[in-house]
Amino acid sequence: MTQKMLEIKDLHATVDGKEILKGLNLSIGAGEVHAIMGPNGSGKSTLSYVLAGRDGYEVTGGDVLYDGESLVDLVPEERAAKGLFLAFQYPVEIPGVTNMIFLKNAVNGVRKQRGEPELDAMEFLKFVRVKAKALSMTDDMLKRAVNVGFSGGEKKRNEILQMAVLEPRLAVLDETDSGLDIDALKVVADGVNALRGPERSMLVITHYQRLLDYIVPDHVHILAGGRIVRSGDKGLALELEERGYAEFVDQAAA
Amino acid sequence: MSVQTLPDDASRQFLAPYAELKPALPGADSDWLANLRDDGADAFRQRGFPGSKVEDWRYTSLAPLTKSAFDWREPEATLDAEQLPALVFGREASCRLVLVNGRLSRDLSAVAGLPDGATLMGFAEAADQSPDLLREALGGESVLADQPLAALNTAFMADGFVLHLADGVVLEQPVEILSVGTGGKQPPLYHPRNLIVAGADSRATVIEHHVGLCIGAYFANVVTEIVAGERSIVRHCKVQDESREAFHIAATNVHVGRDAMLDSFVFAVGGHLSRNEIRVKLAAPGAHCRLHGAYLMRGTQHCDNTTIIDHAAPETNSHELYKGVLDDEASGVFQGKIVVRPDSQKIDGHQMNRALLLSDKAQINSKPELMIYADDVKCSHGATAGELDDEALFYLRSRGVPEAQARRLLVEAFLNEAIDGIALAGMRMPLEQAVARWMSGAAR
Ligand SMILES: Nc1ncnc2c1ncn2[C@@H]1O[C@H](COP(=O)(O)OP(=O)(O)OP(=O)(O)O)[C@@H](O)[C@H]1O
Ligand SMILES: [Mg+2]
């Protein structure tokens, strides 16, 4: 049996003592793109935070294996160094830290943990500029404080820039499409697709079929009540578009 | 015994050596100076150490001071020249006075490249050689009436620095005053008296750097007086990096003349108990001041920043921003008083104090106080206290930035606004390094 990149097994997790994930199973192979859809409050962002290792999101049962090894006891920066990336549903503003400084600390933080040499400042600047340009981001946005005063769409683009710069092996995108206008959606989708490759996997959380027209998933899952209640191919997203979540929510409650 | 003061014996103990020391103090030949000292001693005798009932001292207790037995004799202390480079803060200043335990060391000092009309010397030298320089600027009444510790300093002031700029003199390079505390078998006590007199249209930048060479205790009771003449610009950058057991009580009193500008920056990381009090009198129209400060404290350190800005003339502006980072059981105090007198119209005064608490037990007491007696006035004040932003911390870590580094970045970002204000480019780097050193917890 080939080893999956990510294997989530019977995952139970609580937030502030409240159980949100209630036995979630999901496997993602190398190079695959999986989409997760599901009603508000079903636990999608909770799953993404649990994967990223956020404090306060406690795993109370089951396991998360990444390349066959458990992630559960690793701190967030260790997960990042292993190639995990989370594009936040609500990107965080950091007054006083410029985007450029942020990116540099991120890349060098990861490199250091991996025992790789830090990047030369000039080369890094050039490298980032190319990535930013591909996402139609201006130099000015690189000089500004992280996400401070950015529009909703700009924040999402900034997430994708960080992803492009960090080149993760497993990217979790939490509603990266929300708040994007149609042109920006294309830019972001192009950015994501540019990273697709046989060694890179993605977990795309979205409410809208539209994103999946651009980032075509290999598998689609429905998360409801803290579990995956149904999995299928991209056709499942279309089906949802027509019929809504009603029957799945019932199923989760049952 | 008055409830306003600490026990009288404590005050008496500090004055005990006065009669014995007085004849040997600099400027003993000048009657006016001898009288001023007597007035200082009298004022301190009357007031004593302020207790917690004194409004200005509500949040800072001087009780620990009165429990230590200080050595008020001249501690024979020296410093090897090799030790200097590690202590120097700014870039290579061509002009540097070094004070060791409050006493000027000519051997370690280097004064070169000052333009004509600029005089930089020790306080003792000035008292003996050119007392007139001192006479016009040494603070009298207000110091004695309102500032008991400054009064004590007035009685015992033995050395310090004096910078005098004639009209129109511009210093291109900053002048650095390095004041080193060495500690000793018995904790030394000294009373440096510093004076900056800037003539009309003059400009100077002075870095007043206090640093502890030891881990032991000592008590530096500092008074710095600044007179900024018409249209002058005086930048005063004070770095307080005393030993972690030291007491550092300082008053900086400034008189800002017509269209003149005071730019003050205070950076504090040292001391067991420290207070930096700045009193600015904006004495004539167009006078302007900017007071910025950053303090980083941990362990059981206590740091008090008290400022009093007196808008004594119309069309005067003040801008004030202090940022503090407090860890462990450290405590901080910020008291900011802004006074606008009845005839002072067209005033702009803004004040902000922000504190970042890195532990549950750290605390900050903030007390803004606006006393506004005129109506055409734009004044604002604010104070915030908060913890490091958990979300920002997680965001950084999720991008691969290790926790300690992420915390450092956030603390630096918090302080940036205050440090950014420093016009003195050469100071940015060493300050940022000092912050980084503090964050890594390394004792120098
Ligand atoms: N700190 C918390 N304390 C208690 N409940 C919480 C906490 N954080 C999240 N929850 C709850 O967990 C549930 C799942 O939230 P989550 O953000 O994972 O939903 P989601 O599927 O991402 O929803 P959306 O589609 O709206 O983004 C919600 O009911 C939410 O209220
Ligand atoms: Mg969500």
pTM for this predicted structure: 0.89
pLDDT in tens, A151-167: 999 999 999 999 999 99
Q: Is the pLDDT of residue B200 over 90?
A: yes
Cα distances from A164 to residues A6, A77, A190, A196, B318, in angstroms, run: 20, 17, 11, 11, 46
> Using a 6 Å cutoff on CB, does residue A15 contact ligand 1?
yes
CB of residue A217 inside a 6 A radius of ligand 1: no
Mean pLDDT of B60-77: 81
Q: What percent of chain B has pLDDT over 70?
A: 94
Q: Whose CA is nearest to atom 27 of ligand 1?
A: A40
Dmax (CA) for chain A in angstroms is 58
Partners of A86 on chain B (C-beta within 8 Å) are: 398
ipTM confidence score: 0.96
Q: Report the residue from B405, B416, B417 with minimal CB separation from A105.
A: B405
pLDDT-based confidence at B136, cuts 50/70/90?
Answer: confident
Q: Which residue from B389, B401, B417 is facing A77, i.e. has the nearest CB?
A: B401
Best of A20, A207, A221 for a ligand 1 pocket test (most atoms within 8 Å of beta carbon): A20
Question: Which residues on A lie below 8 Å from B412 (Cβ)?
Answer: 96
DSSP B284: S
| DSSP letters spanning A44-111 | HHHHHHHHHT-TTEEEEEEEEEETTEE-TT--HHHHHHTTEEEE-SSPPPEEEEEHHHHHHHHHHHHH
Per CB-CB distance under 8 Å, the chain B contacts of A95 are 413
Mean pLDDT score across all residues of chain B: 90
Rounded Cα gap, residues A188 and A45, in angstroms:
20
Cβ-Cβ pairs closer than 8 A, A with B, add up to 80
Residue range A26-84, pLDDT digits in tens: 999 999 999 999 999 999 999 999 999 999 999 999 999 999 999 999 999 999 999 99
Judged against a pLDDT cut of 60, whether residue A7 lies above it is answered with: yes
| Residue B443 pLDDT class (50, 70, 90 cuts) | very low
CB contact (8 A) between residue A109 and residue B402: yes
Rounded to 5 degrees, what angle do the CA atoms B138, B141, B145 make?
A: 125
pLDDT of B81: 80
Q: Is A41 in the pocket of ligand 1 (CB under 6 A)?
A: yes
**Domain architecture of chain A: domains with CATH:** 6-92+169-253 (3.40.50.300)
CA distance A27 to chain B (A): 22
A117 — pLDDT class (breaks 50, 70, 90): very high
Q: Do A94 and B413 touch (CB under 8 A)?
A: yes
Q: Which ligand is nearest the CA of A88, by number?
A: 2
Task: Give the model's pLDDT for residue B428.
Answer: 80
Q: Name residues whose C-beta falls within 8 Å of residue B133's C-beta, 6 or more positions apart in sequence.
A: B119, B126, B162, B164, B195, B197
Q: CA Rg, chain A, in Å?
A: 18
Parallel, antiparallel, or unpaired: how do β-strands B103-111 and B95-100 relate? antiparallel
